[in-house]
Structure 1
Amino acid sequence: MLSSPDVIALDPLHLVVDTSSGGVPGFEARALLEASSRIHVEMATDSVIVAIVGAGSRLDAGFLVDALHALPELDSKAPVEKVRQPIILPPTGPRARDVREAYFADAEVVPAAQAIGRISGDTLAAYPPGVANVLPGEVITAEVVQFLQATAQAPYGWVRGSVDAGVNHFRVLVAN
């Protein structure tokens, strides 16, 4: 993984666990760990959880491993879907203004359908993973709107920087 040009370093205190290999979706594993063991993970997707282990806390790591082993096993009679569709991130819209200029420009809040083709005044990031999908000054595309709304509707998904939880409105620059 470190051989990828996008990876600078790994944080050994963030444990990424692929729960799908055991037949438990990440969102379900998160809920089960919270309910059965009072373990709260930082984030979950449909196939993984990310747990944080405190520095020097071997007991915490052992408790997590035991709780993971106690998760219900996949019903052997149930069909197993081995192929997962990768999440396709939409391309960013073209940059129409400088980030700083757009951030401080006069803006208005409009419904999502009216935001398409307009210039964003906000930074919007789908979580997980929390990487920006829209920056101030970029043109908002239909694909980005659909992706952000789908993220907001997913279990445990949300969009940081959004005007509302459902991403039904966007802050855009006032048209001149």
Structure 2
Amino acid sequence: MIVDSPGAEYTTRASDLSFKNRNTDSLLELESFDPQQDTPTEILHTVLLRIAKYLINDLVKLVLTDEQTKKVNAALDSYKSSLGFSRQFSRNLSHCGSFLGRDYKSLLQILPVILITEFPVAKDHLGRLIPCFTKLGKLCSLLFVRQVTENFTIYVDEVDAAAKDLIKSLYEYDCTCTP
């Protein structure tokens, strides 16, 4: 019963006014439940998605010419038949405003390679943006590791160095390429 509620003459129980108890809260009370290991946190959504959105939107909307965009889209199409990726990127770069997290994750794996191979001597804004993609790709490859069983301090040092390299690269890009 809800004590001192308006209409106290009604016999409505508090449990009738809320969500049903599905006994899922009891999982949190189990001794074997370790929130750090048993609660998946997608690193893409906690760290990298905003950086990926920034870089990809900048690449598509400000840096690439129409001809370069066609070249990158053609290269992305050639990766559709690749067996090396669990999920293929099947969208058009010009629609980057409506990409989902999985699209960015796929692009983070593919774009550094495409940009380096398709534009190896780029010296303009694109040449300054490519290192950001390669350093973000390196950080992603380190952060997407599911489990580190040994040499954890070395792993943490590598992640730290990769994050600092990315930040430095982003800073250099922002200082030289934005008004």
TM bucket (normalised to shorter chain) is: under 0.3
TM-score by length of structure 1 reads 0.25
Normalized per residue, the structure richer in helix is 2
**TM-score by structure 2 length?**
0.24
The structure that has the greater radius of gyration is: 2
